[in-house]
Structure 1
Amino acid sequence: MMIAVALGVGFGLSYYALTDGRLFGVAQVGPWAAWPDVGSDAPNPYTRAHLAREAGLQLGQSEGVQFVARNDSLGNPLIRACSYRVAGKTPLAAFWTLSAIDETGVNIAVPDGLAAFRSTDIARANDGSIQLNFGTRLQPGNWLELTGNGPFSLVLNLYDTAAFSGFSDDETMPRILKGDCR
């Protein structure tokens, strides 16, 4: 019985560390999560395991950082049946992209439209803040049309940034606000 409990706890914590990771090297800012050790010379063991599990090409530490949001700012999962607005300011970066992907990592923007928002191609408010809309139905302003059904994630890539040098609160990253659902 003790061996079964030990194995269950061990495998359970390992699975948690690789999927959620908040206690094991992930930087969480509101709904946005990033692995800051990705691309470093000596990443911690949890970051190495995360990289092995994801098997994706990651940015080097001097190139930038990738934030992923699977939930809105209230903690509800992002689903394509609803529209969302990403609002606020982004951390200082030379360039950034914001895209929507499904659970397998495939971009879910419509094939004939915009694949992702880029910092150079959006309309901003007078104070420099952003208002970006995501959804399967037409929305005003900056809009990225999504396809399909089911959950999705937002991926914010910050290039040439010092993003982890001054995070103090959730106002540093944009909020993800849920809109209408069908």
Structure 2
Amino acid sequence: MRFTLLVLISLAIALGLGGWSAHLTLEESAEIGTVAVGPWTANPFAGSPDADPYAKARLARLGSLTLGIGEGILFTADRDSSDAPLRRQCQYRIAGHTPPTRIWTLAPYTPEGRLIQPGAGRAGWLTSHNLMRAEDNSFAVAIGPMARAGNWLATSGRGPLVLALALYDTPASASSGVDSLSLPDIELETCFDG
């Protein structure tokens, strides 16, 4: 009986420490293969067969599908251009240009990967085809809970915010130097903490 108890304790310790170390390794290796362009980050190889094993394991754990290299690239931002965390109760301005692409989308998510529901009658994401632009093809988008004139992406609730900018059918790929791209800035305008 004592031998069986020692084997069970040993297995519990081995499985517990093994699971904890695997989880820690996946969290700490999140930066492997990622590139940063201002506040935006992307892993260009995440959807390719050549992705590192840690990236494949993170994607399997999250259960999310990624864009293949030929399909496009997904950039995310959880901080603004001044390196402050993005929050749903704040108003932001995204302005600038995107690389050449057939179409791009911009959507707000929770850190867990759930699309933030903006409320009845409001779009939960924006696409490049329905934006108002300046003469030089630049754009500005207001993001936040308060309605704004022009391009506005509504958010709701309180807490952290992750913005996802997906570029579809674009020559901006890993082979052309993703880190040398120009992406729009994210600037804080005001917060509604009250």
What is the TM-score with the length of structure 1 in the denominator? 0.85
How does 1:61-72 map onto structure 2 within 5 Å? Answer: 61-72=69-80
Which residue in the other structure is 1:39 paired with? 47
Runs of 5+ in structure 2 lacking a partner?
A: 1-17
Please identify runs of 4+ aligned residues in structure 1 that moved more than 3 A.
7-14, 166-170
Is 1:179 aligned to residue 192 of structure 2?
A: no
User: Shift of the alpha carbon at 1:122?
Assistant: 0.4
User: Shift of the alpha carbon at 1:137?
Assistant: 0.9
Identify if the C-alpha distance between structure 1 residues 153 and 167 changes in structure 2 by more than 3 Å, giving closer, same or farther: same
Identify if the C-alpha distance between structure 1 residues 150 and 11 changes in structure 2 by more than 3 Å, giving closer, same or farther: closer
Percent pairwise identity? 37
**In 2, Cα distance between equivalents of 1:167 and 1:11:** 28
The equivalent position to 1:52 in structure 2, one of 54, 60, 67, is 60
How does 1:106-125 map onto structure 2 within 5 Å? Answer: 106-108=114-116, 109-125=118-134
Runs of 5+ in structure 1 lacking a partner?
A: 1-6
How does 1:1-182 map onto structure 2 within 5 Å? Answer: 14-18=26-30, 21=31, 24-108=32-116, 109-164=118-173, 165-167=176-178, 169=180, 172-182=182-192
**In 2, Cα distance between equivalents of 1:101 and 1:12:** 24
What is the TM-score with the length of structure 2 in the denominator? 0.80
Identify if the C-alpha distance between structure 1 residues 64 and 168 changes in structure 2 by more than 3 Å, giving closer, same or farther: closer
Q: Secondary structure at the match of 1:33?
A: strand
**In 2, Cα distance between equivalents of 1:147 and 1:137:** 9
Larger-Rg structure: 2
User: Shift of the alpha carbon at 1:37?
Assistant: 0.7
CA RMSD of aligned residues (A): 2.1
User: Shift of the alpha carbon at 1:179?
Assistant: 0.6
User: Shift of the alpha carbon at 1:151?
Assistant: 0.7
CA contact (8 A) 1:25 1:46 kept: no
Instruction: Out of 152-161 and 51-60, give the one that drifted further.
Output: 51-60
CA contact (8 A) 1:83 1:180 kept: yes
